[in-house]
Structure 1
Amino acid sequence: MNDISKNFILWLVIAVMLFLLLQALGSSNSGLKEVDYTTFMREVASQRVVDANIDDRQIQFNTRSGESFQTFIPGNEDPQLIDTLLAGNVTVFGEPPHKRSIWVSLLLNWFPFLLLIGVWVFFMRQMQGGGGRGAMSFGKSKAKMLTPDQIKTTFADVAGCDEAKEDVKELVDYLKEPARFQELGGKIPKGILMVGPPGTGKTLLARAIAGEAKVPFFAISGSDFVEMFVGVGAARVRDMFEQAKKSAPCIIFIDEIDAVGRHRGSGHGGGNDEREQTLNQMLVEMDGFEDNKGIIIIAATNRPDVLDKALLRPGRFDREVNVSLPDVKGREQILKVHLRKIRLAADVDAKTIARGTPGYSGAELANLVNEAALFAARKRKKIVTMEEFELAKDKINLGAERRSLTMTEQEKEMTAYHEAGHAIIGSLVPGYWDLHKVTIVPRGRALGVAHFLPEGDDTSHTKEFYQSQISVMFGGRAAEEIIYGKDKVTSGASSDIQYATSIARSMVTQWGLSEKVGPILTLEQNSFSGQPQKVATLSPELSKLIDDEIKYFIDTNYDRAVDLLNENIDVLHAMKDALMLYETLNASQVKELIARKPVTPVDGWDDNDTPSGDSTKEYTMPESKNDTDNQASDDKPVTPKDNPSDTSQ
């Protein structure tokens, strides 16, 4: 019986009880017209009353005209009433003494208490949200059970995590044919812990396992076990496993298990802490005195470092499956899954989009596809083109366009010189990423952006690359200094300076890229705060040497940026003019300018090289997700996720 049926029955019972009460209280009402006692006595004296029926203090009488009335004797009694009636030739009737039904008496006496109990039961059910299990079902599990018919997800719907799928495919074989494994004495892992950043598809992969194996799937969150009442979490764990045993073989999926599986001893209540009791009960159920055959527990978390060691030991969570961020091939596969749901133009290339989205998770790629579809819908298009995907990437990476931002011509010109400096340096220094777009259209906090895109998902870089990156970071500041002088430079390069300094510090203190300091680790990440800290007390001489080397990398690469711009000052002026006119230049146009060729207008511009409509945004190359507003910390090697691939003022 579902919640709606139970609530309907409850209110129906209350309504019936109210009706019976009103019926009992209103039973004395005969529906006759009432007159005062004086009028009745006058009618008797005038001999116009035919008969009278006396019931306690109530008198019902009929007149000679055929009308019926009722009246009530004032006070307790009228001793002369019978004599008066007989003198008036009135036929007198009497009623036997009334005895109230025992059921009516019970109803009248107990109805208020029953009503209060009913209201209390109703509100307790609402507060508990116990899925229709009753008012006292605190210890009932909140796990939602999905039958095999309800689960339509398969491994075909999971993309971008091929290694993780291979790790869990044997679970499907075991759930389908457990005897094949048991004959050889093998034991399937009791628990699988899925670890990975948010949005990488851990929950989706768990559903796919159940969908492939065609077994019941119990889904619950770690926070559903923890309540304000002591012992409720442990009771819910017991109830969940009891339900799972009845449906074995099955899968129990616990999302965000770190909510209940943290290290014991860290709570305020010590061993009596409710969360710790819940964890203790889970440990016993997973591997205790009773053997839960046919039940596989799959848990997901993005914080494995906070989990209790007893939870991770063999026999409980035997296997850890890493569901990491997808590489370029994985992103392409994920995009193809999501692109099946929308109508696409012929120019949409999943591989190109995947190249331009390093560091994206599966959830972020799904959001990108959705944003592109929304852009197309706003323009009332019937299909989604590559233009919408470029707009969606720009919006996600940098924010919406700030076309309403009012910039003076001088501010716009300075921004154009700044971004041109980044673009030129990035195109000339060795070993750096390819430029794909430079724009002075304001987005988010950036007044302009120069986008650079890596060839693949880089996991490490050379010393040459990092030095080139520092030069690129200072390209905008160097351009301002050359054009306007040292006293006229702006604060627009603050994020560039911050990131360039963090790269130089990491090169010296962590990556061993300084010849004078050597491969000595002098700075590491604090495990608690996440901030860089010294690994040991450094001598004054070594500290000074580190500072000198950091400044050397900064000064050397800043000077290189200034020299390259001075050598290509004509290109700097030409790119500034092109940005002032077009606002956005793609990679091929930048190459033409560096080769001292005129800029070829892209489609959407008229013969006078003036923008037609909003077409400046439509012809951009794929760019990396990151920008200098998201600063990488200097306590770890720079990866494509951490390293900004575009520079913004």
Structure 2
Amino acid sequence: MFGGPGMRWLMMLLGLTLVWNIFTLRPTTPSIDLPYSAFLDQVQAGNVTKVELNDQQVRGVLTTPVEAPAGETVSGGTLFGDAPTKADQFTSTIPTVGDQTLLPLLREKKVEIVASVQNPSIFWNILLSFGPVLLIGGLFIYMMRQQSRGQQNVFSFGRSKAKSHTGETPTVTFGDVAGAEESKRELTEVVDFLKNPDRYKRLGAKIPRGVLLVGPPGTGKTLLARAVAGEAGVPFFSTSASEFVELFVGVGASRVRDLFDQARRNGPAIVFIDELDAIGRQRGAGMGGGNDEREQTLNQILVEMDGFETAVVPVIVIAATNRPDVLDPALLRPGRFDRQVTVGLPDVRGREAILRIHLRGKPVSTDVDASIVARQTPGFAGADLANLVNEAAIHAARHMARQVTAQHFREALDKIVLGTERPVLMSEQERTVIAYHEAGHALVSSLLPESDPVNKVTIIPRGRALGVTEYLPEGDRFNYSREFLRSQLATLFGGRAAEQVAIGEITTGAENDLQRATQLARRMVGRWGMSDEMGLLFASEGAENPFLGREMAGPRDHSEATAARLDDAVRKLLDERMHTAIELLTSNRGTLDHLATALLEHETLDRLQVEAIVRGEDLPPPTKGTAAPITLPPSDRPAPRPRPGIMPA
């Protein structure tokens, strides 16, 4: 920044300014400005030895210095010190009407007369002569350059904006990717083909021209594509599908052509297109918001992928999407995206490996066990685990700690899963209702053998909920039994059932529980065949089209009579599970009261404390220093708050 040409020009300008000031402010001979009459008096007195006449200006030298007249000042002198009061040089102005007696008087007094003519400088003459021409020429050159730059931008408008990475310095390899072992095995063949193409050509095998990575957001699809390029050591062109779409029709197709031309010139190479569904949606979908530009871009991609000369220059396209259901069928046919690799959520071993990668280089305490954290985070994607490690580091920095401890991980996990704690003023009656509500969820789950164990129960407001019950599955589930789902329904109704059994009044706190229970029951009856009334019938709701929302869903695939039977079966299932929850809490009323009282005292109970209460054991009193709950008298109850609810594992 300080050594560029602009800085050198600035230093030169400052130097010239300094030199100009030195010459301008240098010490000069003192001089006074005399009126014309005073000048004539000095000539008559013989005190003038020399004059210089220049038009109407007179400069002269005095024999004896004189003081400045009243109201006049002495110019020139030294830079520092007092200004002079006398001067032996003067200036004066000849009247415009002229004076015919001046020259005879000067000759009479023996004054040396010098005549001069003031000519403009050469620079000024050149500036006056050629200045307008130079100004017009400079303006013309500037306009030509701007026009040329605009033409270059027009011609480069259709060029690809893909970022190119050479294979000489790979930054990501398969060693940096964890939790996706099956996906890495699928992509290993792609890497091996780029490294050893002759091995496959001898056997007549053809590597897939396109690989589509499918999976939920945050599972590492982009990271896998970068790892393939890093392992293969080939150029890697990465872009997003949204960068192809512009206002002008044809620009996207032009950019596709330019992208594949660059890949062929640098082949073998890998082209990665992220979020393929932005341009790969089904053509003619109507409600999908299609336009000519997007469809032309998609057509160009189809043509480019079908026209690869893999025997000459191998170019492999890797694309990623989390919406494979909206893609055009032409993209998925053989010869284009031949292979689809599913990048799913990691299991417990994958989560442990991902955590170990994100813990590299961080000051982590010895009490942090990645395997324990992995078991506590079922359903977390790679991005979620990275966020968990970052939140734990933030909590450690907030507490001025030198290392990230297990406690910081617990706080970070509670914040992500349960929400941020927020102080809310509530009455003792509201706290009691919330305590029984959450105690009902926890107790029903503990009494049903098929339910997930309770990990934590709290009546401290978090996020939008006034109370939360957290469950921790003992292992990853990929298939759910009917008995497990029925237990889930009873657990969801545990809060409402506890309010009826213990309080004798129901509140709005079960809104989220009712919504989730109804959705689960409808899937059990209409999709999974878990109802005796409906049998094995699959009853869709007309919303399978991904381009149509539920409000604009198409017609159902069953009659109105079947829909009425389905509603009756759902209501029957919900009523039966609600009755089960009420029976469980009624027969265990003492345990319910004990659990609610413990929540009012401790505010938060962990798994061991809940299990101890269910066994009939008493908990020790809260330790000193525990924040006392903030309560208000019933007459000062605030406005209704967000409902209490449960948080799924």
TM-score (norm 1): 0.76
Of structures 1 and 2, the larger Rg is shown by: 2
The amino acid of 2:599's aligned partner reads: L
Is 2:561 the counterpart of 1:549? no
Write the mapping of 1:375-386 to structure 2, written as runs, cut at 5 A.
375-386=395-406
Q: Which residue does the alignment assign to 1:645?
A: 648
Cross-structure match for 1:195: 214
1:526 to 2:529 alignment = no
Q: Is the 8 A contact 1:521 1:535 kept in 2?
A: no
**Whole-angstrom CA distance in 1 between matches of 2:443 and 2:153:** 71
Residue in 2 aligned with 1:342?
362
User: Which whole-Å deviations, capped at 9, do the CAs of 1:7-57 have from their partners, x for residues lacking one?
Assistant: x88x89999xx9xxxxxxxxxxxxx9xxx9x99xx99xx999988899xxx
Mapping for residues 477-492 of structure 1, pairs under 5 Å:
477-485=496-504, 488-492=505-509
Give the direction of change, closer, same or farther, for the CA distance of 1:219–1:615 in structure 2 (3 Å limit).
Answer: farther
Aligned to 2:211, the other structure's residue is in SS state strand
Is residue 466–residue 644 contact of structure 2 (8 Å, CA) maintained in 1? no
2:530 is aligned with 1:513: yes
| Aligned residue number for residue 609 of structure 2 | 589
In structure 2, the gaps of 5 or more residues are 14-27, 63-87, 629-641
Contact 2:468 2:644 in 1 (8 A): no
Instruction: Please say if 1:310 is aligned against 2:313.
Output: no
Cα deviation 1:536-594 (Å, max 9, x = unaligned): 34253x44433332232222222221111121111111111211111122222222222
Tell whether the 8 Å contact from 2:367 to 2:406 is kept in structure 1 after alignment.
yes
Distance 1:62 1:297, change over 3 A: farther
Aligned to 1:257: 276
Q: CA contact under 8 A between 1:433 and 1:452: conserved in structure 2?
A: yes
2:73 alignment counterpart = none
- Where 1:523 maps in the other structure, the secondary structure is coil
**Conserved? CA contact 1:60–1:68, under 8 Å:** no
Are 2:508 and 2:643, in contact at CA under 8 Å, matched by a contact in 1?
no
Q: CA deviation digits over 1:258-309, x for unaligned, max 9?
A: 22333344689x9993333333333333333866713222221222233333
2: distance between equivalents of 1:237 and 1:161?
30
Instruction: Tell me the equivalent position of 1:562.
Output: 582
The yes-or-no answer on 1:286 pairing with 2:313 is no
Q: Give the SS at the match of 1:511.
A: coil
User: CA-to-partner distance for each residue in 1:500-550, whole Å, 9 max, x for gaps?
Assistant: 22222222222211112211122344324454887434253x444333322
Structure 1 match to 2:559: 538
> In the alignment, is the contact (CA less than 8 A) between 2:509 and 2:643 conserved in 1?
no
Displacement after TM superposition at 1:64 (Å): 7.4
SS in 2 for 1:207: helix
Which residue in 1 is equivalent to 2:458?
439
Residue correspondence of structure 1 range 72-91 to structure 2 within 5 A: none
From 453, 466, 483, give the equivalent of 2:472: 453
Counterpart for residue 241 of structure 1: 260
In the TM superposition, 1:499-510 aligns within 5 A as 499-510=516-527
- Of 135, 144, 150, 1:108 maps to 135
The letter for the 1-side match of 2:237 is F
Q: 1:252 to 1:119 in 2, by over 3 A?
A: same
Change (3 A) 1:223 1:61: farther
Matching of residue 576 in structure 1 with residue 588 in structure 2 = no
1:185 aligned onto 2:197: no
Amino acid of the structure 1 residue aligned with 2:413 = K
CA distance in 2, matches of 1:473, 1:240: 53
- Say whether the 8 Å CA contact 1:197–1:302 is kept in structure 2: yes
Q: Distance in 1 between matches of 2:388 and 2:193?
A: 37
Shift of 1:254: 1.7
Shift of 1:150: 3.9
Unaligned stretches of 5+ residues in structure 1: 19-31, 126-132, 602-608, 617-627, 632-642
Choose the corresponding residue for 1:495, options 512, 515, 519: 512
C-alpha spacing 1:69/1:247, structure 2 compared with 1 (3 Å):
farther
Give the corresponding residue for 1:275: 294
What letter corresponds to residue 504 of structure 1 in structure 2? A
| Aligned partners of 1:430 and 1:464 also within 8 Å | no
Q: 1:154 aligns with which of 173, 176, 186?
A: 173
Instruction: Quickly say closer, same or farther: Cα 1:279–1:473, change in 2 above 3 A.
Output: closer
CA contact (8 A) 2:352 2:374 kept: yes
**Deviation digits for residues 64-83 of structure 1, max 9, x if unmatched?**
78999999xx9xxx9x9xx9
Q: Which amino acid aligns with 2:609?
A: Q
Which amino acid letter does the alignment assign opposite residue 557 of structure 2? A
Identical amino acids, percent of aligned pairs: 47
**Partners of 1:138 and 1:352 in 2: CA distance:** 53
Which of 381, 384, 400 is the aligned partner of 2:420?
A: 400
1:582–1:192 distance in 2 versus 1, CA, 3 Å? same
Closer/same/farther in 2, CA of residues 109 and 557 from structure 1, 3 Å limit:
closer
Amino acid aligned to 2:135: L
Equivalent position of 1:23 in the other structure: none
One-letter code of the match for 1:112? L
**Which amino acid letter does the alignment assign opposite residue 412 of structure 1?**
R
Where does residue 226 of structure 2 map in the other structure? 207
Q: How many residues align?
A: 580
Partner Cα distance (2:351, 2:509) in 1: 34
What amino acid sits opposite 1:645 in the alignment?
A: P
Moved more, 356-365 or 196-205: 356-365
SS at match of 1:260: helix
The alpha carbon displacement at 1:450 in A equals 1.9
Kindly indicate whether residue 622 of structure 2 is the aligned counterpart of residue 610 of structure 1.
yes
TM-score, structure 2 normalization: 0.76
Q: Is the 8 A contact 1:53 1:95 kept in 2?
A: no
**Which residue in the other structure is 1:130 paired with?**
none
Structure 1, 222-231 or 169-178: larger mean CA deviation: 222-231
Given that residues 418 and 462 in structure 2 are in contact (C-alpha distance below 8 angstroms), is that contact kept between their aligned partners in structure 1? yes
> C-alpha offsets along residues 126-162 of structure 1, whole Å, 9 cap, x if unaligned?
xxxxxxx868532333222222344321101101111
Query: SS of 1:436's equivalent?
Result: strand
Local SS of the residue matching 1:298: strand
Give the secondary structure class of the aligned counterpart of 2:280.
coil
In structure 2, what is the Cα distance between the partners aligned to 1:536 and 1:70?
A: 112
Q: CA deviation at 1:221?
A: 1.7
Q: Is the 8 A contact 1:271 1:277 kept in 2?
A: no
Structure 2 residue matching 1:253: 3-state secondary structure: strand
Query: Are the structure 2 counterparts of residues 452 and 149 from structure 1 closer, same or farther at C-alpha, using a change threshold of 3 Å?
Result: same
2:433 is aligned with 1:414: yes
Q: CA deviation at 1:491?
A: 1.3
8 Å Cα contact 1:140-1:239 kept in structure 2:
yes
Judge which range, 92-101 or 290-299, deviates more. 92-101
Contact 1:417-1:572 at 8 Å conserved across structures: yes
> 2:229, 2:240 → 1: CA distance?
17
Kindly provide the amino acid, as one letter, of the partner of residue 622 in structure 2: T
Q: Counterpart in 2 of 1:424?
A: 443
The Cα offsets for residues 380-408 of structure 1, whole Å up to 9 and x where unpaired, read as 22222222222212211221012x21122
Asked if the contact 1:343/1:383 (under 8 Å) is kept, the reply is: yes
SS of the equivalent of 2:426 reads coil
Structure 1 residues 43-54: aligned runs within 5 Å: none
